[in-house]
Amino acid sequence: MLVLFETPAGFALFKVLDEGKLDKVEDLWKEFQTSDSARKVVKLKAFNKFENTAEALSAATLIVDSKPSKGLRKFLREQCEGETLAVADSKLGNAIKEKLKIECVHNSAVMELMRGLRTQLSELITGLGVQDLAPMSLGLSHSLSRFKLKFSPDKVDTMIIQAIGLLDDLDKELNTYAMRVREWYGWHFPELSKIVQDNIQYAKVVKLMGSRTNAADLDFSEILPEEVESELKEAAVISMGTEVSDHDMVNIKALCTQVISLSEYRAQLFDYLRSRMNAIAPNLTVLVGELVGARLIAHAGSLLNLAKQPASTVQILGAEKALFRALKTKHETPKYGLIFHASLIGQAAPKLKGKISRSLAAKSALSIRIDALGESQDAFVGIESRAKIEARLRQLEGRVLGRLGGSAKGKPKIESYDKDRKRDAHGLLTTARAYNPIADSTIGQGMVPEKKLKLEKKPAAADLSLEQDGEEQKTAKKRKHEDTKQVEALNTEAGVGEPEKKKKKKDKKEERKEDKGQEEDLNSTFQKQDAIGESEKKKKKKRKQSTEDEGQEEELNQTFQKQEVVKESEKKKKKKKKEEREEDEGKEEEPSPALQKQDEAGESRKKKKKKKENGDHKGDEVQEEEAAMLTGETPKKKKKDKSKTST
Q: What is the DSSP string of 346-361?
A: HHS-GGGHHHHHHHHH
Contact in structure between 181 and 204 (CB atoms under 8 Å): no
Buried b (16+ CB within 10 A) or exposed e, 343-353: ebbeebeeebb
Contact in structure between 337 and 315 (CB atoms under 8 Å): yes
pLDDT digits (tens, 9 = 90+) for 10-65: 888 888 887 777 777 777 878 888 888 888 888 888 888 888 888 888 888 888 88
Contact in structure between 215 and 224 (CB atoms under 8 Å): no
Q: What is the largest CA-CA distance in the chain?
A: 221
- In order of 14, 84, 87, 103, 295, the CA distances from 1 in angstroms are 9, 5, 11, 10, 61
Burial of residue 104 (CB within 10 Å: 0-12, 13-18, 19+) is: buried
User: What does DSSP assign to residue 239?
Assistant: -
**Strand pairing partners for 3?**
14, 86
What single-letter amino acid sits at 134? A
What's the confidence (pLDDT) of residue 418? Answer: 47
Buried b (16+ CB within 10 A) or exposed e, 218-257: eebeebbeeebbebbeebbeebeeeebeeeebeebbebbe
What's the confidence (pLDDT) of residue 174? Answer: 94
Segment holding 445, helix H or strand E: none
What's the confidence (pLDDT) of residue 628? Answer: 60
394 CB-side CA count, 13 A:
5
Quick one: fold of 281-405? Serum Albumin; Chain A, Domain 1 (1.10.246)
How many of the other CB atoms lie within 10 Å of CB of 133? Answer: 16
Q: Which CATH architecture has domain 158-273?
A: Orthogonal Bundle (1.10)
Please tell me the chain's helix, strand, coil percentages from 3-state DSSP, rounded to the nearest 5.
75, 5, 20
What's the confidence (pLDDT) of residue 450? Answer: 47
Q: What is the CA radius of gyration of the chain?
A: 61
Residues in the chain predicted with pLDDT less than 50, given as ranges, are 404-429, 444-466, 493-500, 633-647
Pairing type for strands 104-105 and 85-86 reads parallel
Q: How far apart are CA 462 and CA 517, in angstroms?
A: 24
What single-letter amino acid sits at 433? R
- Put residue 2 in one of left, alpha, beta given phi > 0 → left and psi -120 to 50 → alpha: beta
Contact in structure between 283 and 379 (CB atoms under 8 Å): yes
Q: How far apart are CA 341 and CA 428, in angstroms?
A: 53
- In order of 12, 303, 321, 334, 476, the CA distances from 328 in angstroms are 65, 30, 11, 13, 88
**In degrees, to the nearest 5, what angle opens at C-alpha 597 toward C-alphas 592 and 603?**
125
Q: 2-149 domain in CATH 3.30.420.220?
A: yes
Contact in structure between 312 and 337 (CB atoms under 8 Å): no
**Strand pairing partners for 13?**
4, 46
Domain boundaries, the chain: 2-149, 158-273, 281-405, 437-488
Q: How far apart are CA 50 and CA 62, in angstroms?
A: 14
What's 459-522 look like in SS3?
CCHHHHHHHHHHHHHHHHHHHHHHHHHHHHHHHHHHCCCHHHHHHHHHHHHHHHHHHHHHHHHH
Phi, psi of 263, rounded to the nearest 5 degrees: -65, -40
- Put residue 145 in one of left, alpha, beta given phi > 0 → left and psi -120 to 50 → alpha: alpha
pLDDT digits (tens, 9 = 90+) for 382-425: 999 999 999 999 998 887 555 544 444 444 444 444 444 444 44
What's the confidence (pLDDT) of residue 130? Answer: 66
Phi, psi of 49, rounded to the nearest 5 degrees: -90, 145
pTM value is: 0.45
Q: How far apart are CA 210 and CA 188, in angstroms?
A: 10
Report how far Cα 358 is from the mean position of its chain's Cα atoms: 16
Q: For residues 294, 295, 300 and 302, what is the CA-based torsion angle, rounded to 10 degrees?
A: 20
Q: How far apart are CA 260 and CA 606, in angstroms?
A: 112
What's the confidence (pLDDT) of residue 37? Answer: 83
Segment holding 264, helix H or strand E: helix 246-280
Strand order in the sheet with 104-105: 42-49, 10-16, 2-6, 85-86, 104-105
